[in-house]
Amino acid sequence: MSTETLLLAPDTTGFARAAELLRAGALVAMPTETVYGLAGDARNDRAVAEIFAAKGRPRFNPLIVHLPSLEAVEEIAVVSDAAREIAARFWPGPLTLVLPLRADSGLSELVTTGHDTVAIRLPAHPVARALLKAFGGPIAAPSANPSGKISPTTAQHVLDGLSGKIAAVLDGGPCEVGVESTILSLDPPALLRPGGIAAEELEAVLGAPLPIGGDASKPNAPGQLKSHYAPGAAVRLEAVQPRPDEIWIGFGADCAGADLNLSPAGDLTEAASNLFAMLREGDAMARRRGAATLAFAPIPETGLGRAINDRLRRAAAPRD
């Protein structure tokens, strides 16, 4: 499908136009507090198929369903007491829960790719919430980037990857969190993807360490595919000093002379929010200077550092 992608302002007119497009089965990129999502009507097979086509996404990777309220969640999924407790604490916010799918959910089977569970998120971003309200139904939305590439944290990033392939982008400015939602399955609890809510915060509520779930050799999550978030340049990790042909992306005060710094103050929240934009910026610098590699300074493996390192390891992974 080739079409001119509209850039919509985050106002009443923009929300109404975006909702109308969704009702017609078209795709609209929307900002969330994590990254921009590629939204389509989760009940419409054709719209969901278009999401996979626009992204070039493998069909075995199910999508996250975005909803406005716990009542809306209960129409689609079975909500246990444990899920309710987590939801009360972290929703709306950068957390996705994998819950048992109800037989009468009304969702397109393409959303869950035939699984008997569904990944659900209540975003906190006011623009996503306004669109959910104007549309009035469940919205399926993966990150709004071509599959395998860097997730978008601005409307321009979305256009760079998907212009001409989707109907519109709602411009909500830069995303505050900057890495995708944490994905948690329950009964028993397992961390399927580190993300915008630190695992430590979930462990504090669950009262036990959170095991890592999923199997990278049999991915049901693209976040679990080894190579993902790939820039054009190669990526080297744990770089305490750059080599001559590298763009050095620092973290903290010890990286004087770095080309870019995820957070000069060493703040992981700031680093997460800068991560994808700096991957893109570093990649553009590398192209301009003929540098082959982006070298990233070490990031501590705690709090949001786990999500950052997870994304960087995938950006650095061998590509097929």
The site that binds ligand TXA (CB under 6 A) totals a number of residues, namely 27
Tell me if 63 contacts ligand TXA by CB under 6 A. Answer: yes
User: Token pair of 282, please?
Assistant: 């570093």
List 192, 239, 291, 308, residue binding ligand TXA (CB under 6 A): 192
Tell me if 5 contacts ligand TXA by CB under 6 A. Answer: no
**β pairing state of 293-296 and 246-250:** parallel
Residue 175 vs 295, nearer CB to ligand TXA: 175
List 118, 122, 162, 308, residue binding ligand TXA (CB under 6 A): 118
The CA distance from 132 to 19, in Å, is 8
For residue 36, what is the enclosing H or E element? strand 36-41
Per-residue contact string for residues 258-297; x = within reach of ligand TXA by CB under 6 A: ----------------------------------------
Residue 74 Cβ, how far from Mg ion at the closest point, in Å? 27
**Cα dihedral: 152, 156, 159, 160 (round 10):** -80
Of the CA atoms within 13 Å of residue 128, those in its CB half-sphere come to: 31
Length of the chain: 320
Q: Quote the radius of gyration of the chain (alpha carbons, Å).
A: 19
Residue 143 vs 224, nearer CB to Mg ion: 143
Residue 272 Cβ, how far from ligand TXA at the closest point, in Å? 12
Q: Which does 115 bind (CB under 5 to 8 A by kind): Mg ion, ligand TXA, none?
A: ligand TXA
Return residues touching Mg ion (CB under 5 A).
143
**β pairing state of 139-140 and 36-41:** antiparallel
Tell me if 132 contacts ligand TXA by CB under 6 A. Answer: no
Residue 219 Cβ, how far from ligand TXA at the closest point, in Å? 7
List 5, 44, 96, 153, residue binding ligand TXA (CB under 6 A): 96
Q: Which stretch binds ligand TXA (CB under 6 A): 62-70, 85-93, 234-242, 307-315?
A: 62-70
The percent helix, strand, coil of the chain (3-state, each to 5) is 35, 20, 50
Pick from 29, 27, 131, 143: nearest CA to 96: 143
**Cβ-based neighbours of 13, under 8 Å, separated by 6 or more:** none
Residue 102 Cβ, how far from ligand TXA at the closest point, in Å? 13
Q: Which residues of 164-173 are buried (b: 16+ CB within 10 A; e: fewer)?
A: ebbbbbbbbe
Rule CB under 6 A: which of 202-261 touch ligand TXA? 220-223
List 10, 21, 22, 34, residue binding ligand TXA (CB under 6 A): 34
Q: In the complex, which residues of this chain contact ligand TXA (CB under 6 A)?
A: 32, 34-35, 37, 61-64, 96, 98, 112, 115, 117-119, 121, 141-143, 180-181, 183, 192, 220-223
